Amino acid sequence: MRTPFAWALILIASLAHGASRDDDFLAAREAYRAGDSKKLALLAKRLDGYILEPYVVYWRLQTRLEAADPQDISTFIAANRDSPLSERLRKDWLKLLGKNQQWEWFDAEFPRLIDDDIEITCYSLQSRIRLDPQALREARPLWFVTRNLPESCNPLFSALAEARMLSADDLWTRIRLALEAGQVGQARRVAEFLPASQTPDSRLLSSISSNPAGYLERRNLDFQSRAGRETTMFAVYRLARTSPAQAATHWSRLEERFGEEERGYVWGLIAYFGAMRHDPGALGWYAQAGDMSDVQLAWKARAALRAGNWREVLAAIEAMTLKESAEAGWRYWKARALKTLGRNEEAVALLRPLADEFNFYGQLATEELGGRTTSPAAAFKPSAEEVRGIGQLPGIRRALALFNLDLRIEGVREWAWAIRGFDDRQLLSAAELALRNGIYDRAINTAEKTVMLHDFSLRYLAPYRDVLKAHAGEKGLDEAWVYGLIRQESRFIAGIKSSAGASGLMQLMPGTAKWVAGKLRLNNWRWSQVTEVDTNISLGTYYLRHVLDTLDGQPVLASAAYNAGPGRARRWRPDTAIEGAVYAETIPFNETRDYVKKVMSNATYYAHAFGQQVQSLKQRLGIIGPRNRNGEAALEDTP
């Protein structure tokens, strides 16, 4: 019979062995990244039976994918269906098979692909066209995709051109799309499909990209050829990006030389950029626009919101595609427009189902109907056995092991793959498991996926509350708002670092942290301290208080400033007072617009969770007035 001392020795030996294998795994990862296949093979022998061994096998297959036995690849994919590694290897293999035109293997594996991949889609069409030339028709929509497409799509485009399935208008449409995306090189490649006499001058296009006004001031513009007209329209477009009013002046002088479709196209672009810059002329320019995309119509609706023109708000939303107009935001603003225009029954019919959604617009819809935001009672709490059962799943075990090694990207991928297809009870059990392991972001994101059973104590976690409550109280900040902001910034992962260089719970940039440290007279300040919970919250709440004070005490403005910078938040203020919801809706940056809405929505839910006297979301958003130049001068000194 072993003594307690003997059991202790066994435990120590086991932990040491585990730590050693963790080190071997990290070393194997570095060997793979360095392309050292010999070292990787050596370490692989020591990791036999290790929880993360599939990664080592995957890396070894990756290093010799060209020469690997197809059966070995198929075997790995089949054996690791419960891991994202199977899909990653399948994608890599399909791309290789397509590149090498090994269509028999490709056709056998392609139907098992789970995630969309445009490179593989183009290879699939290449394969199908071999047997069925009519499949080429399915390649035509790819021609109008705005982003750069992979090489695998080029043979399809050549085939479309050879089959005369692309008209001159189709070619010019794609050239326009490329130029609008700033891809002069792609526009030049597309132009190669045109007759030589009709291609635009690529050097001239490059010159226009940097000096559009200079081109438009020329007296010898070419209005006769399609290439000349498109080049001039491109110059107006490039100028509209930075100065829509100046572009409108030039276009008013030139438009009579162009056809109706061309005039409407350019006015739509000028109006779009004008709306994003909150130019008061935007709605007038929109009135002259032709057919517009959903993006252009969205900004027409936003320009109308800032102008208080509810008829134009409604007209813009009703002109959108069904998919776009079904978005929560446009359903809410359509209801508001209908209500303002006296069509109350139609408005209520839109607001009632929207009020059942747990988002910014769902909260506003609830309040519009006379209710107030509350968090639903938890309808289910997982048992210890249910949580333990989730923890035994191989994918979850691998995810936890990866998080333990601080391999967050891989851990998130494993976790997301493992919970695919979970029902609400399993999702809440997994969220509880993540919470118990301190993986707060997975707890929140997993709990948010439930459809019928909800637990808002998991969706709106409040870790580090003693620390945060003390700093929020010291700075006179609303604790619920600060929590709402941190939830959006970092999901409470203390050591997280963004690609932009921000770090910690409140995602501080180096310049901001240094500036605040100076204000707080932290003489021994070091950047390495930024991920310490107390330090990060201390610096972050000081900065948040500062921007709040210099922006009229408006949390909406301060939230925008925290994400995009105080100068931008100030420039986005209106000339006349508008609702805070309209200010948030008309923020030009997609990321910041989404961020501000979520922070303010989060704050309302946290206030309810903390038992505070809950302000309505509309009250929190307030009314945003014109810029107070004297009161906001201090913002110029902040980073």
The string of DSSP codes covering 378-399 is P-----HHHHHHHHTSHHHHHH
> Residue 623, SS3?
strand
**Rounded Cα gap, residues 639 and 370, in angstroms:** 42
Contact 429, 387 (CB under 8 A): yes
**Rounded Cα gap, residues 434 and 418, in angstroms:** 13
**Rounded Cα gap, residues 246 and 252, in angstroms:** 10
* Helix (H) / strand (E) containing 58: helix 53-63
| Catalytic residue, candidates 312, 367, 414, 489 | 489
Residue 624 has phi, psi (to 5 degrees) of -100, 120
For residue 176, what are its two tokens?
A: 């326009």
Contact 416, 462 (CB under 8 A): no
Q: How many other C-beta atoms are found inside a 10 Å radius of the C-beta of residue 359?
A: 15
Contact 200, 231 (CB under 8 A): yes
Q: Which sign does the torsion angle of CA 625, 630, 635, 636 carry?
A: positive
**Rounded Cα gap, residues 299 and 282, in angstroms:** 9
Q: Is 489 a catalytic residue?
A: yes
Nearest to 403 by CA among 417, 387, 414: 414
**Surface-to-core class of residue 224, CB atoms within 10 Å of its CB (0-12 exposed, 13-18 middle, 19+ buried):** exposed
User: Helices 260-276 & 226-242, crossing angle to 10 degrees?
Assistant: 10
What distances in angstroms separate CA 12 from CA 8, 9, 27, 95, 637, one per listed residue?
6, 5, 22, 47, 55
**Rounded Cα gap, residues 419 and 410, in angstroms:** 15
The string of DSSP codes covering 481-545 is HHHHHHHHHHTT-TT-B-TTS-BTTTTB-HHHHHHHHHHTT-TT--GGGGGSHHHHHHHHHHHHH
CB contact burial 210-222 (16+ within 10 A = b; e otherwise)? eebbebbeeeebe
For residue 227, what are its two tokens?
A: 């290439």
Active site residues: 489
